């Protein structure tokens, strides 16, 4: 495969990024990337901790230009960062904050570097197709977060295939606003790489409150694409505030209900494209959830059933990637999702596995035994909240939460902590589902 | 309606207790509203409140008091620093 220029050919004067009320054109972005690339001290790997999406993008492409692998931790939990730092030697931290976000590692602040504008027209380096450019961490069904590597050429192909679908739904290339984490695959693909590699416009902001989302959208010209999770979308509709016209909405990380998709179309007048994918596969397929149950794979990706396993195949993958969900295949490009992987849990779009959470819980000093569970939701709760049963005679609620916080994203902290004298385990050391259900009924059902 | 009376620096205990009740019921917390210490951080280990909850609280505040929370215009961590800070912010910005 031929090497590919670092950035696509573009009019240097074309508006590209909206950062702190300023509009940055393609030429300035180009110059900024090359300025930082020239200034980066030699390190094999960088840890990109930028908060602003624009500076995240500058740091990412500068690292690619220098053949430095970008490491993207899946949370800022101190233990996870420490684990990443210990398995990724020679890390340089890049950030857009005055204070080093990962003390103990060398740090370079990237947003204080003025772009050398003479570089706006400088030639771009060609990047080998197979150059590893990003390492993301999966939630890890077996317990430990696992690194997963992406190469430049394949990542770019996947983005272009996605763009064809997404720009198609929106009518043309869009201004993109994303509320989702940029160090996770969904946010990286849809809110960072899509606008950069496929002619869109990028927002520096990661808006949180509904009014912030409205602002971020209004700052950019139409057509607009909103990249969001079902949980956040629900809250945005509930807020019932005035939004500028949106051409299309992307939803991923948790199942989108038909009702929410339909209500969005009715209230905002735009389609919601739901994305099926994972850290390992990236975006695989899409559907318009309120009008179809069938998923359509992106161009160049097909699904195959082999030896009872389901595989995603295509040039975007170095090797076929196994999918853990059960599907009914209508054709290599069309399928219906029958069942999602059982052990995985999803809190407001963030994924982890019960085995991982249980391992963290029982690994805390002072915890004799413990188990996570997912109590049935109350009718008014739109998001899953977790509970734990724990045997820990010397600890209190605060100590357990503080211990877990060291390892876990805060959405996985239990809402309810029930102290018990012992947990009934069977001969294999397992807590039976029936036993757990009895505990939930006895201790937690009063909450709903 | 904004209030600029001389009382604006004294905590509005009734409003604090009302907001505490809204938070506990919206988040289905394991505690009684009165157990939320007005000066203690809302975020963090004590209540186990996270960013999802903050979004939930923001929605309740907008429905109840007509206040749209914004991360950009105001220092978010200040508003949610404690029940007392949140109540003071609501008192200043409420439209209903």
Query: How does pLDDT run across B4-34, given as a tens digit for each residue?
Result: 444 457 888 999 999 999 998 888 777 889 9
Do A81 and A49 touch, CB atoms closer than 8 A? Answer: no
- Cα–Cα distances in angstroms (integers) from residue A288 to residues A128, A165, A272, in the given order: 35, 11, 6
* Unique residue bearing structure tokens 């494209």: A273
Rounded distance, CA A93 to CA A78, Å? Answer: 15
Do A24 and A173 touch, CB atoms closer than 8 A? Answer: no
B68 touches chain A (CB under 8 A): yes
Contact B48 A385 (CB under 8 A): no
Class of domain A344-447: alpha beta
pTM score:
0.82
Contact A415 B51 (CB under 8 A): no
Rounded distance, CA A299 to CA A313, Å? Answer: 11
| pLDDT surpassing 50 at residue B2 | no
Predicted complex ipTM = 0.75
Instruction: Please identify every stretch of chain A with a pLDDT value under 70, giving residue numbers as ranges.
Output: 139-143, 339-344, 377-384, 426-430, 446-448
Nearest-Cα distance to chain A for B46, in Å, is 6
B47 or B62, higher pLDDT: B62
Three-state SS letters, chain A: CCCEECCCCCCCCCEEEEECCEEEEHHHHHHHHHHHHHHCCCCCEEEECCCCHHHHHHHHHHHHHCCCEEEECCCCCHHHHHHHHHHCCCEEEEECCCCCCCCCCCEEECCCCCCCHHHHHCCCCEECCCCEEEEEECCCCCCCCCEEEEEHHHHHHHHHHHHHHHHHHHCCCCEEEECCCCCCHHHHHHHHHHHHHCCCEEECCCCCCHHHHHHHHHCCCCCEEEEECHHHHHHHHHHCCCCCCCCEEEECCCCCCHHHHHHHHHHHCCCEEEEEEECCCEEEEEEECCCCCCEEECCCEEEEEECCEEEEEECCCCCCEEECCEEEEEECCEEEEEECCCCEEEECCEEEEHHHHHHHHHHCCCCCEEEEECCCCCCCCCCCCCEEEEECCCCCHHHHHHHHHCCCCHHHCCCEEEECCCCCCCCCCCCCHHHHHHHHHHHCHHHC
Contact B59 A415 (CB under 8 A): no
Contact B28 A235 (CB under 8 A): no
Contact B55 A232 (CB under 8 A): yes
CATH number of A4-339: 3.40.50.12780
The domain limits of chain B are 10-93
Token pair belonging to A173: 């290339």
pLDDT at A378: 61
Which residues in chain B have their CB less than 8 angstroms from residue A231's CB? Answer: 52
Do A49 and A102 touch, CB atoms closer than 8 A? Answer: yes
| Domain covering B10-93 assigned CATH 1.10.1200.10 in the classification | yes
Which residues in chain B have their CB less than 8 angstroms from residue A211's CB? Answer: 68-70
Nearest-Cα distance to chain A for B18, in Å, is 20
pLDDT at B5: 45
B64 touches chain A (CB under 8 A): no
In B34-63, the residues whose Cβ lies within 8 Å of chain A are 45-46, 48, 50-52, 55-56, 58-59, 62
Give pLDDT tens digits for A376-393: 766 555 566 788 999 999
| Residue of B28, B37, B77, B95 to mutate, interface with A, max A Cβ within 10 Å | B28
The domain limits of chain A are 4-339, 344-447
Phi, psi torsion values for A109, nearest 5 degrees = -85, 125
B66 touches chain A (CB under 8 A): no
Contact B55 A212 (CB under 8 A): no
């Amino acid at each position: 495969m031929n090497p590919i220029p670092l950035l696509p050919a573009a009019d240097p004067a074309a508006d590209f990024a909206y950062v702190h009320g300023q509009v940055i054109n393609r030429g300035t972005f180009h110059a900024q990337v090359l300025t930082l690339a020239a200034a980066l001290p030699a390190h094999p790997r960088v840890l990109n901790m930028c908060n602003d999406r624009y500076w995240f993008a500058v740091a990412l492409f500068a690292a690619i230009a220098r053949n430095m692998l970008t490491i993207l931790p899946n949370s800022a939990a101190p233990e996870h960062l420490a684990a990443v730092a210990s398995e990724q030697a020679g890390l340089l931290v890049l950030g857009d904050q005055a204070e080093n976000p990962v003390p103990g590692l060398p740090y370079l602040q990237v947003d204080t570097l003025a772009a050398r504008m003479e570089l706006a027209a400088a030639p771009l380096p060609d990047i080998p197709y197979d150059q590893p450019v990003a390492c993301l961490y999966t939630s890890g069904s077996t317990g430990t977060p696992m690194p997963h590597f992406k190469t430049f050429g394949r990542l770019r192909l996947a983005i272009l295939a996605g763009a064809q679908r997404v720009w198609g739904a929106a009518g043309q290339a869009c201004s993109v606003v994303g509320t989702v984490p940029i160090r996770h695959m969904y946010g990286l693909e849809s809110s960072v790489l899509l606008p950069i590699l496929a002619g869109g416009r990028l927002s520096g902001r990661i808006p949180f409150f509904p009014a912030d989302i409205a602002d971020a959208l209004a700052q950019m010209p139409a057509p607009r694409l909103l990249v969001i999770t079902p949980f956040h979308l629900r809250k945005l509709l509930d807020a019932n505030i005035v939004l500028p016209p949106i051409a299309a909405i992307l939803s991923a990380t948790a199942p989108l209900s038909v009702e929410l998709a339909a209500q969005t179309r009715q209230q905002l007048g735009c389609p919601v494209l739901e994305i099926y994918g994972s850290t390992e596969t990236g975006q695989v397929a899409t559907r318009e959830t309120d009008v179809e149950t069938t998923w359509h794979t992106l161009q160049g990706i097909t699904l195959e059933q082999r030896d009872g396993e389901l595989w995603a195949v295509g040039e975007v993958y170095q090797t076929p990637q196994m999918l853990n969900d059960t599907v009914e295949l209508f054709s290599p490009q069309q399928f219906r999702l029958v069942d999602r992987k059982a052990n995985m849990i999803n809190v407001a779009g963030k994924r982890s596995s019960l085995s991982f959470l249980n391992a963290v819980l029982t690994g805390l000093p002072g915890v004799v035994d413990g188990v996570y569970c997912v109590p049935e939701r109350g009718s008014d709760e739109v998001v899953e909240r977790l509970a734990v049963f724990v045997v820990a005679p010397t600890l209190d609620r605060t100590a357990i939460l503080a211990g877990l916080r060291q390892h876990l994203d805060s959405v996985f902290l239990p809402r309810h902590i029930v102290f018990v004298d012992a947990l009934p385990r069977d001969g294999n050391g397992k807590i039976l589902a029936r036993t757990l259900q009895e505990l939930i009924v006895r201790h937690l059902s009063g909450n709903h | 309606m904004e209030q600029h009376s001389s009382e604006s620096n004294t905590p509005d205990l009734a409003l604090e207790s009302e907001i505490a009740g809204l938070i506990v019921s919206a988040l289905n917390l394991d505690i009684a509203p009165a157990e939320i210490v007005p000066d203690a951080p809302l975020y963090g280990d004590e209540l186990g409140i996270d960013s999802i909850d903050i979004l939930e609280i923001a929605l309740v505040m907008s429905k109840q008091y007509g206040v749209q929370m914004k991360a950009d215009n105001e220092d978010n961590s200040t508003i949610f620093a404690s029940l007392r800070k949140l109540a003071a912010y609501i008192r200043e910005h409420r439209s209903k």
